Amino acid sequence: MLLDNDVREKLSQYLQLMEKDILIKVNDAENPASTEMSDFIKELAGLSTKIHVEAASLPRIPSFSINKVNQDVGIYFAGIPLGHEFTSLILALLQVSGYPPKIDEALIEQIKNIKVPLHFETYVSLTCHNCPEVVQALNIMSLLNPNITHTMIDGALFKEEIDSKNILAVPSVYLNGKPFSSGRMELEEILLKLDIKPILPKLDGKEPYDVFVIGGGPAGTSAAIYAARKGLRTALLAEELGGQINNTFGIENFISIKYTEGPTLAANIEEHLRSYAVDVIKMQKVKTLRKASMVEIVLETGTILHSKTVIIATGARWRNINVPGEAEYKNKGVAYCPHCDGPLFKGKTVAVIGGGNSGVEAALDLAGLAKHVILLQNFNKLNADEILQKRVYSKENIKVITNAKTTEILGNEKVHGLTYLDSLTGNDVTIDVDGIFIQIGLLPNTEWLKNTLSLNSFGEIIVDKYGKTNIPGVFAAGDCTDCPYKQIIISMGAGANAALSAFDYLLRN
Ligand SMILES: Cc1cc2nc3c(=O)[nH]c(=O)nc-3n(C[C@H](O)[C@H](O)[C@H](O)COP(=O)(O)OP(=O)(O)OC[C@H]3O[C@@H](n4cnc5c(N)ncnc54)[C@H](O)[C@@H]3O)c2cc1C
C-alpha cells in the first residue's frame, strides 16, 4: 500500500465530490517503477466506483492519463503524483469528472479559443512547492481545450530525459518539444507567454479609494482586510498575490498553525481577502506615486488611480550576486530555491553561497541529497544562528570555506564550477561544482520610490511606529520597510498597523 491511512481517508472524502465516471489509462511494463504505479492506480480506483482503469499505450512508461469515459482529455502523469503533486492529482480527478475549475469565465473563453496544437511537458520534482501551480494550470488548459495536452514528468523517475535536456531547475516546461519556461507561473502568465494578453479589468475612471494597498503579500493583504473591515473603500493591487510565501516551503512559526506550507498559506490568505469588499487588481505593477490633493498611483500601463491614502507593501526579492555567469547559467545550475531544485543535484557536488541563516539552512537541506556541499562565506565566520552553525559543522559532507568572495560562475551549457577570491591569501581559487545555490539575502522592492519617499541606505522605506512615511497619507508595512525583522507574522502585524493608521488619518483629514 502506497497511501497511508490518513491520505486514503482524505482522498476518499475528495473523491466523493466527483461528478461523473472517469477512465484512467495506464501504460506499464515489467519493472519496479511500473509495478509501483499500477499498484497506486489500483489503490486509487478502489476508493471510488466512479474510477475505471484500462491498459493503454502511452508515450512514456510508466505513465497514466486521466480521461472522460468516452473522450481523452490529454492530462498525463509520468510518475506517481504524490508529495507536492498530490493536490494536482486530486484536482485532475475532480475536474475531469466535471467539477468546474475555479478560474474566471474570461480565462476559460481565452483557453477555449486556442486553435493551435499545444503539447506541454512539465518536469517536476515531488518536493517542489512551485511545481503544482504550473502543473495545475496546464492541466486546466488541457481539460478545456482538445488541442492542448499536458504531461507531468517526475524528473527523479525520468532521469535520462532530465540529463539529455540539461534540466537543472524545476518546474521546467517544454512546449511541442522545445523549452518554454522555467519556474513558477500562474495561468495568466502562461497565456501571456503564448501571446494571449490577459483581459484586465477596466481601471480608467475608477472612483478614488479611501485606502489603496500596493502589494499582495502578508503585509498588503492584512492591511487590505483591516481597511475593508473599517468600511473603507479599499483596493489591493499586486504583481503577484502571495508574495514571498509562494516560494516558501515549510512554515512552523505562524502562531496557531504548527506547520503549513507557503502555497497553502497563500491560498488561505487570498480566500480571506476575497471574502471582503476589496477591489483586487492582479498582474499590475505600480511605476510611481505622486502626492497632489490625493495620492496619484501611476501604473506601468500608464493608468492613473487616485486614493486618499496609500499603503506600500511591496516586500522584497532574492538578491543576486551579480558576478559573470550568474545570469547566463540561471536554471542551468545556478539556483535560488533548494527545496525546488535540490533533488536534481542528488549525488552531485553543489556550492551554497551565503553564510547567513538561509545559506546554512540550504546547505543542511542539500546535504541530505548531494554528495558534497561546499558552503562559501565572504566574511571570516558564518553569521547564521549558533544552533544552525553547530549542525552545519557536524555534517561530514559539508565543507565550510570562509573569506571566500565568489567572483565568477563557470560553465559550458551548464555550470561546472566557480571561482572565488581568497581574501586572506589574495589568490583566485577555482572549484568544480555541478550546481550553485545563491542565498545572500533579500533586496527591498523600492527602486521605484527612490525619488519619492525617504529610504535608508539599504533602500528600505523609513517608517515610524504608526507605519507613516515622510509623505502624509502614505504608509508602508512589511519587508519593504526598515522594520528590523522580516517575518510573515511581523509583516501581517505591520499591515494591520498601517491600515489602522490610515483609518485614523482619514478621520482627521
Ligand atoms: C524562502 C523564504 C522562506 C521564508 N520562510 C519564512 C518562515 O518560515 N516564516 C516567516 O515568518 N517568514 C518567512 N520568510 C519571510 C516572509 O516570507 C516575509 O517576511 C513576508 O513574506 C514579507 O511579506 P510582505 O507582504 O512584506 O512582502 P512580500 O511577501 O515580498 O510581498 C510583496 C508583494 O508586493 C508585490 N509587488 C512588489 N513590487 C510591486 C509593484 N511595483 N507593484 C505592484 N506590486 C508589487 C509582490 O507581487 C507581492 O505581492 C521567508 C522568506 C523566504 C524568501
Whether the CB of 213 sits within 6 Å of ligand 1: no
Which mutation among 212, 225, 244 tests ligand 1's pocket best, with the greatest number of atoms within 8 A of CB? 244
Whose alpha carbon is nearest atom 53 of ligand 1? 244
- Per-residue HEC secondary structure of 471-498 comes to CCCEEECHHHECCCCCCHHHHHHHHHHH
**Which three cell numbers, joined as nine digits, stand for 335?**
539556483
CA of 316 to the centre of ligand 1 (A): 6
Domains defined for the chain, CATH in brackets: 5-193 (3.40.30.80), 209-317+442-508 (3.50.50.60), 334-438 (3.50.50.60)
Catalytic residues: 337, 340-341
Distance, in Å, from the CA atom of 460 to the CA atom of 469, rounded to the nearest integer, reads 11
Contact yes or no for 420/407 (Cβ under 8 A) = yes
pTM of the predicted model, to two decimals?
0.80
Can you give the pLDDT at residue 1?
65
What type of residue sits at position 291?
Answer: K
Whose alpha carbon is nearest atom 3 of ligand 1? 248
Distance, in Å, from the CA atom of 168 to the CA atom of 191, rounded to the nearest integer, reads 24
Q: Report how far apart the first and last C-alpha atoms of the chain are (Å, whole number).
A: 66
CA of 380 to the centre of ligand 1 (A): 30
Measured CA distances, 353 to 315, 363, 381 (Å): 23, 9, 13
Give me the count of residues in the chain.
509
Beta bridge partners of 474: 310
Distance, in Å, from the CA atom of 501 to the CA atom of 3, rounded to the nearest integer, reads 50
Atom of ligand 1 at shortest range from CA of 221: 25
CA of 240 to the centre of ligand 1 (A): 10
Can you give the pLDDT at residue 493?
98
Atom of ligand 1 at shortest range from CA of 250: 8
- Classify 10 as helix, strand or coil: helix
Omega within 30 of 0 (cis) for the link into 62? yes
Whether the CB of 8 sits within 6 Å of ligand 1: no
CA of 60 to the centre of ligand 1 (A): 39
Contacting residues for 374 by C-beta, under 8 A, at least 6 apart: 349, 350, 351, 352, 398, 399, 401, 431, 433
Atom of ligand 1 at shortest range from CA of 489: 11
Whether the CB of 338 sits within 6 Å of ligand 1: no
Beta bridge partners of 330: 334
Burial annotation 304-325 (CB, 10 A radius, 16+ → b, else e): ebbbbbbbbbbbbebeebebeb
Contact yes or no for 148/180 (Cβ under 8 A) = no
Q: What is the mean pLDDT of each run of 10 residues along the chain (509 residues)?
A: 81 92 92 91 94 95 96 96 92 96 91 96 92 96 98 94 90 96 91 85 84 98 98 96 85 90 90 96 93 94 94 95 94 85 91 95 95 97 94 97 97 94 97 96 94 96 98 98 93 98 97
Beta bridge partners of 373: 350, 398
Measured CA distances, 175 to 5, 117, 126, 294, 399 (Å): 38, 10, 21, 47, 40
CA of 259 to the centre of ligand 1 (A): 18
